[in-house]
Amino acid sequence: MIRIVLADDQAVVRDGLSMLLGAADDLDVVATAPDGTAAVTAIADHRPDVALVDLRMPGLDGAEVTAAVAERAPEVRVLILTTYAEDDAVLPALRAGAAGYLTKDTTGEALCAAIRTVAAGGSVLDAAVQARLVALVGAPVAAPTAIPDGLTAREVDTLRLVAQGLSNHQVASKLYVSEATVKTHVNHLISKLAVDGRPALVAWAWRNGVT
């Protein structure tokens, strides 16, 4: 069972999402919060697998909640929900350690799938958010290259799959290697590309056309 804390400042959204997620056999909303400060408290108290957090809330916004969770409950994976993909807080939230970003016009099925992916260690970026992220980073998407920046061919294969939101387990399955090998590749990629964690690695891949 995947345990979830849900944070949104609109009661109707909280109620609707709680009903939607609660209908799935493997998802359990253990707490809800109406603002960023309450969200951090609920996450620290309940230690869920995934925190589903609105980007814009009173008190602390989604990026600030993500940063606080990274400090107080680093094992919790944060999935951000936003009304508009164009919001400039997209990049700060990812830099703070968010594992995924979805717009609120996503389908219920896609949201549940994203929660499962994030809980399994993967990352999820809505297509519109990906485009905005590339724009915020300040560079156009480059033509794909075989081995960018001195990466090995296997590291590039790993990077492409990680950028698609696959977990280490899923990447390992596709590449016929162990999860430990995938984790090593990911760590090497983060080090070689000088990025701050997996979400930034995904952003780098999209910016450079590796996907």
Cα distance between residue 53 and residue 73, in whole Å:
15
CA 156 → CA 53, 78, 103, 122, distances in Å?
A: 31, 26, 28, 17
- Quick one: pLDDT band at residue 149, thresholds 50, 70, 90? low
Mean pLDDT of the 169-186 span: 89
Domain positions in the chain are: 2-136, 139-207
pLDDT score at 83: 83
pLDDT score at 43: 97
Domain 2-136 has CATH 2.120.10.30: no
- Quick one: pLDDT band at residue 45, thresholds 50, 70, 90? very high
- Quick one: pLDDT band at residue 148, thresholds 50, 70, 90? low
**Coil, helix or strand for 124?**
strand
- What the block records as the tokens of 16 is 């609707």
- Quick one: pLDDT band at residue 86, thresholds 50, 70, 90? low
* Assigned CATH topology for domain 139-207: Arc Repressor Mutant, subunit A (1.10.10)
pLDDT score at 95: 75
First to last CA, the chain: 31
Mean pLDDT of the 126-133 span: 69
Mean pLDDT of the 92-109 span: 84
Cα distance between residue 98 and residue 51, in whole Å:
10
Indicate the pTM of the whole model: 0.70
In CATH terms, are 2-136 and 139-207 the same topology?
no
- What the block records as the tokens of 70 is 């990274």
pLDDT score at 16: 93
Cα distance between residue 30 and residue 18, in whole Å:
9
Give percent of the chain with pLDDT exceeding 90. Answer: 43
Query: Is pLDDT of 64 > 70?
Result: yes
Mean pLDDT of the 172-198 span: 87
- Quick one: pLDDT band at residue 198, thresholds 50, 70, 90? confident
Q: How many CB atoms lie within 10 A of CB 61?
A: 20
CA 67 → CA 63, 64, 153, 183, distances in Å?
A: 6, 5, 33, 23
Number of H-type helices and E-type strands within the chain: 10, 6
Mean pLDDT of the 63-73 span: 92
CA 131 → CA 127, 134, 141, 142, 147, distances in Å?
A: 6, 5, 9, 13, 23
Cα distance between residue 100 and residue 80, in whole Å:
6
- What the block records as the tokens of 136 is 């915020």
Whole-number average pLDDT of the chain: 85
- What the block records as the tokens of 82 is 């936003």
Query: Is pLDDT of 191 > 70?
Result: yes
Query: Is pLDDT of 26 > 90?
Result: yes
